[in-house]
Amino acid sequence: TGLLDALTPFDVLSFTGSADTAAAIRSHAAVARDSVRVNIEADSLNSTILGDDAQPGTPAFDLFVDNLVRDMTIKSGQRCTAPRRALVPKQLFHAVAEAAAGKLAAIRVGNPRNADVNMGALVSRAQYDSVQEGLAMLKTESSVLFDGSAQPLLDADSHSACVAPTLLGVRDADAATLVHAHEVFGPVSSLIGYRDTAHALALAHRGLGSLV
């Protein structure tokens, strides 16, 4: 807070992080009083969309799955630009889930000093708790398509901040609300089935956020 107190009308404040913190920044007295310019990229439920012509076995299908797994696991999923919602044609839902699960199963989580580890820990234990709480929330309206926690951690224990990749599945995208509103900042993504192009675009728009 002390840093924000020093802002003047000629300053520009840029921030990337949670929507709650962004709201606190926008309402800070110095920002409101002196009209400090503020650029904020806050919680964003980014989406990636698989076209209905990208059938299994095509380069587009394989690229989609490869990128989904990469974006879930690079930096342990702690990237504001990582897509949290993977929109796929309903008829390809099972094919994408199976292909992604196969690749996620090869990800070994643990101490990055171990050469066999593909993905390390989250930034802190507090972030670990936040991811667990977010997962529990999303699971109330989705099913678990892949749970990497079934594999033991490598050179790490339960006191670490390691979280295995988790792929969730949402079959009724219109009835679901949390998947379009709450970002779990970790190796988590949700597979969402869509009917047609118009439906996919409508679902993408529900994510809001500054990065979609």
Q: 193: Cβ–Cβ under 8 A, 6 or more apart, which residues?
A: 87, 88, 89, 90, 93, 170, 171, 173
Q: 38: Cβ–Cβ under 8 A, 6 or more apart, which residues?
A: 12, 13, 14, 15, 25, 26, 31
- For residues 85 and 208, give the distance between their C-alpha atoms in angstroms, rounded to a whole number: 12
174, 188, 100, 101: which is closest to 136 by C-alpha?
188
Which H helix or E strand runs over 98? helix 93-104
Q: Is 80 a known active-site residue?
A: yes
Catalytic residue ranges:
41, 80
